[in-house]
Amino acid sequence: VFSDESAYDRRILSCRYEWNISEHHARKATFFVRGQRFTIEGALCINGLLAYGIQKGSMNSEDYEYFIENILVY
């Protein structure tokens, strides 16, 4: 069983710095988007997806233990 965590918020799709042809930083003006952050935890095995959990905010060690004990093992 493999477990991995990922997160999503609206700021992930916007990058403030890019590279130009001369390999120097190019600046890009963007608007600040304050949004809700979601954390996605999933568990995979050879046969496919076993379990997943989505929560608002960041995940800490207590949240991960809850995922293992109550969602994955359940």
For the chain, list the strands marked E by DSSP.
2-8, 17-19, 25-27, 38-45, 48-56
pTM of the model: 0.63
Number of neighbours of residue 39 by Cβ within 10 angstroms: 20
The rounded distance, in Å, linking the Cα atoms of 28 and 18 is: 7
Can you give the pLDDT at residue 36?
A: 80
Q: Tell me which residue range forms the domain holding 60.
A: 2-72
Dump pLDDT digits (tens) for 14-64. 555 555 666 666 666 666 666 788 899 999 999 999 999 999 988 999 999
Query: Are the C-beta atoms of 58 and 37 separated by less than 8 Å?
Result: yes
Find the mean pLDDT for residues 8-13. Answer: 64
Quickly state the pLDDT bin for 9 (edges 50, 70, 90). confident
The rounded distance, in Å, linking the Cα atoms of 14 and 12 is: 6
Q: How many domains does the chain have?
A: 1
Can you give the pLDDT at residue 28?
A: 60
Can you give the pLDDT at residue 68?
A: 92
